C-alpha cells in the first residue's frame, strides 16, 4: 500500500485486487502486541503498588491499634475525677471498653478485611456517612480558620509587643522624671 498526497488530500492506494498488502496487517499486529504488553505492564504495576500499600498498612496497623488502646487507657484514667458521678464514669468506661475491642479487632484483622467492613458499613448507612462527612468538614474548616487566625495574630504580635514595651518604658521614665 502506498500513501500519496494530491491537492492536500491523503489517498491510499491498494493493490489491483482491492486488498491491503500484508505489511499493513503486520503493522496492525505489531501495534496490537505493543498495546497488549503495555496494558499487561500497567496491570502488573498497579498490582505491585496495591500489594506494597497493603503490606505497609498491615505493618503499621499494630501502631494504630496501640494508639487506640492508649486512648482507651487515658479515658479510664480520666474517670478517677468522676467518682461522685457514677453515670458519667460508666459511660466513659463503656467507651474505653469499646476502644479496647476496636484495638483488638485492628490487631486481628488484615487491612483488606477492615477495608471491606468499612465499605460495607458505608453502604448500609449512607446517611450516617454523609452526616459524619459534614461534621468532619465543619471541624476541619474551624480548625483551619482558627489556625489561620492564630498565625496572623502571631505575625502581627511581635510588632505590637515591641510598641507596647516601648510605651511602658517611656511611661515609666516619664513617671520617674516627674518624681524627681
pLDDT tens for the chain, residues 1 to 180: 444 445 555 445 555 555 567 788 888 888 999 999 999 999 999 989 988 888 888 788 888 889 999 999 988 888 888 778 888 888 888 888 999 998 998 888 887 888 888 899 899 999 999 999 999 999 899 889 888 887 777 776 655 554 545 555 555 555 555 555
The whole-number pLDDT of residue 4 equals: 47
Domain range list for the chain: 126-166
What pLDDT is recorded for position 51? 87
SS3 of the chain: the string is: CEEEEECCEEEEECCCCCCCCHHHHHHHHHHHHHHHHHHHHHHHHHHHHHHHHHHHHHHHHHHHHHHHHHHHHHHHHHHHHHCCCHHHHHHHHHHHHHHHHHHHHHHHCCHHHHHHHHHHHHHHCHHHHHHHHHHHHHHHHHHHHHHHHHHHHHHHHHHHHHHHHHHHHHHHHHHHHHHC
CA dist 115 and 119 (Å) reads 6
What's the confidence (pLDDT) of residue 1? 45
Q: What is the pLDDT of residue 176?
A: 52
Q: Does the predicted model carry a pTM greater than 0.85?
A: no
Amino acid at each position: 500500500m502506498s500513501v500519496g498526497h494530491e491537492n492536500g488530500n491523503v489517498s491510499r492506494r491498494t493493490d489491483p485486487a482491492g486488498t491491503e498488502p500484508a505489511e499493513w496487517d503486520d503493522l496492525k499486529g505489531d501495534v496490537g502486541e505493543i498495546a497488549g504488553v503495555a496494558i499487561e505492564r500497567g496491570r502488573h504495576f498497579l498490582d505491585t503498588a496495591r500489594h506494597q500499600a497493603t503490606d505497609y498498612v498491615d505493618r503499621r496497623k499494630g501502631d494504630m491499634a496501640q494508639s487506640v488502646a492508649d486512648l482507651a487507657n487515658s479515658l479510664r484514667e480520666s474517670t478517677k475525677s468522676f467518682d461522685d458521678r457514677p453515670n458519667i464514669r460508666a459511660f466513659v468506661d463503656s467507651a474505653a471498653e469499646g476502644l479496647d475491642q476496636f484495638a483488638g479487632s485492628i490487631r486481628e484483622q488484615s487491612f483488606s478485611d477492615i477495608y471491606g467492613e468499612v465499605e460495607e458499613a458505608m453502604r448500609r448507612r449512607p446517611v450516617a456517612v454523609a452526616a459524619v462527612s459534614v461534621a468532619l468538614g465543619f471541624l476541619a474548616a474551624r480548625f483551619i480558620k482558627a489556625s489561620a487566625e492564630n498565625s496572623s495574630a502571631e505575625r502581627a504580635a511581635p510588632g505590637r509587643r515591641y510598641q507596647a514595651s516601648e510605651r511602658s518604658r517611656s511611661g515609666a521614665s516619664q513617671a520617674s522624671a516627674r518624681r524627681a
